A and B are shown apart, each in its own frame.
Chain A
Amino acid sequence: MTSTASTPGTAGTPGTAAAPRTFAQKALERASGESGLAPGRIVDAYPDLYMSHTASWRCIRTLERMGADRLYDPDRVAMVMDHISPAMNAKTAADHRLCREFADRMGIKNFFDVNAGIAHIVLMENGLVRPGQFIIGTDSHSTIYGALGAFGTGVGFSEITAAWVTGKLWVKVPESVRIEIDGELPVGSYAKDVMLKLIGDLGADGLTYCSAEFTGSYVTSRSVSERMTFCNLAMEMGAKNAYVAPDATTLAYLHDEAGVPADGYEVLLPDEGAVYRDVVRLDGSALTPQIAVPHTVDNVVGVAEVSGTRLDQVFIGSCANAKYDDLAIAAEVLAGHKVARGVRLVVTPASSAVMAKASATGVLATLIEAGAMITNAGCGACAGNGGAMADGEATLSTANRNFQGRMGSYESRIYLGSPATAAASAITGVITDPAEVLAQAPRSAAAGSAGPGRPEGAAS
């Protein structure tokens, strides 16, 4: 269904009543200093933050090749050693050392070492992502920064290097698509299922070059963590950036968890009457758990269609679904159960802060008692760093990609689902609807048998 927003004739003329603008228009006007930017315009924009992950060494080598040794603004540089952590061989150890020494030499304060976790989550937890900002990162899932009302987008390492030196890059102002999600989800379905459903419906290029604005009663009732899942997975439809309008939930996160002062940012909201390419509506109350089957993320089916598929491994990790509440949901499902014989359950917390909280609340103990293997925080198996599969094996993963060969053998298969589906499937050893496990053992009873009780912050 397409929107019918009004478009007054004097679009963006300074001094007159400006045309209503989307979030993306406002964010890029702020970052470029220009006004009246219509979709399709190409402008030079100045990012507030340049994130580089394990690719940082590539940027440093590129900087050396340029013969440049001055940065536009070291305070806008953030480096996180997440994709390969800890180092797996001498080459990657040398790459990490190069980054450490470079950060020291250049006075880069925002350097996060191999212990920190996944860049996106770490930057948000540390108050480096703020509403209204324009952020680029050497990672396609930089769309996730929209969870806090920022414009985040992925670029290659040459572009980050160029921004280090010049402070800017060219950007095309995107068209926007509004995604309205309403209704309460049935038991067993979560934010991940909503996104897989959308990806299946719209396709892997359904939002290419677009700014995806998420709204609706379901979205606005969700935590920042779940908003991260929405904005992260928007990338799997080709989105340039994603966005949830900052509200009281956002501001509470910024203040209480990220330590951002209230005067440290500018909230940008879309105008009433702004023009959208499309409006997509989804009724959450009709949802069932969804699975992306090999080898593309938009190859999505209801869990019933693939339930019973044998698994060799279950991976709970990635910037899509390894935040505290994701681990808590998994623990809730696994409490009092054991992982099926012959199945390895690998849990990789998104950040060291997530890991510490999960340790303090007993979530980690519940997972370990069930038979899970907890790794250090980071990208882990999603980036092919551990958790590999042999020929013919299958993994159910909470990550955001199921591309051929991403986790080991080119002859292995990756299925994507929610943390609850992952946990339920780890118990049975086959793809399983989590509602079945949750129904079997009433939540209070399951929690009671597992010592620490129902994890704080688990599924609402």
Chain B
Amino acid sequence: MTTAPETRVGGKTITFGDDVNTDVIIPGRYLVSIDPVELAEHAFEPLGPEVQKELKASRVVVAGRNFGCGSAREQAASCLTGAGVRAVVATSFSRVFFRNAINTGLVAVECPQAVDALAAAGGRGEMWVDYDQGTVETAGGTFGFAPYPQGLREILQDGGLIPHLMRSFAQEGTVR
């Protein structure tokens, strides 16, 4: 908690199209678990083992419009974290997925320019997000995005909503 948190995350990308829904990200039958690592075994299972293998070797999910549409299941975000994904960069998100990502400490950024630039560069390569600076770097350039409001940035820095609350309770000395 005392070291400055890493605000720049990234690496190898895996790309998806528009309207990737929660049932494809993590099928409902696996919601009996809340362990990110266990869930990661089944992330994107409907799309087949090749996609699952690629996911595990990736650090950034790149997607088109409305990523994470559908269910409010928080595991759609945490299963990605469990698979080693550090950030999702999309043209746009469904609102519940966005909340769940921030709340589970997964960097989620809307940056259509970066998504388009990666596609123009052949759709493969690395992408890096600095959520403190508000930049996305990828083949073809560095792009800005609207910075998070302070409250959301603090949640991300603490690794998610629950660790953030625990930290603030500890600071206040609140006994709950």
Contacts and interface: CB of A to CB of B under 8 A. Distances in A.
Interface of A: 42, 55, 58, 61-62, 65-70, 91-92, 95, 137-140, 142, 154-159, 161-162, 165-166, 170, 204-205, 208-209, 238, 240, 296, 298, 383-384, 401, 403-406, 410
Nearest to B74: A156
B71 A92 contact: no
B28 A383 contact: yes
Contacts of B23: 401, 403-406
Given A140-B96, A238-B94, A405 B27 contact: yes
A165 B100 contact: no
A156 B69 contact: no
A410 B28 CA distance: 12
Contact of A403 (B21, B74, B104, B162): B21
Interface of B: 19, 21-24, 27-29, 31-32, 34, 45-46, 65-66, 69-74, 77, 92, 94-96, 99-100, 103-104, 149, 151-152, 160-162, 165-166, 169, 176
B154 to A, nearest CB: 11
Contact of A156 (B65, B73, B169): B73
A404 B72 contact: no
Nearest to A89: B32
Nearest to A138: B72
A232 B63 CA distance: 26
Contact of B96 (A156, A204, A298, A403): A156
A196 to B, nearest CB: 16
A205 B161 CA distance: 26
Given A156-B100, A170-B151, A204-B66, A165 B72 contact: no
Contacts of B151: 42, 170
Contacts of A162: 161-162, 165
B92 A208 contact: yes
Contacts of B65: 205
Nearest to A298: B19
Given A138-B72, A162-B165, A240 B24 contact: no
A238 B95 contact: yes
Contacts of A62: 162
The 4 closest A-B pairs by CB, nearest first: A156-B74, A403-B23, A154-B72, A205-B66
A208 B95 contact: yes
A65 B34 CA distance: 13
Contacts of A67: 166, 176
A296 B19 contact: yes
Contacts of B161: 158-159, 162
A218 B99 CA distance: 34
A157 B99 CA distance: 11
Contacts of B71: 139-140, 401
B134 to A, nearest CB: 17
A298 B21 CA distance: 12
A165 B162 CA distance: 11
A140 B162 contact: no
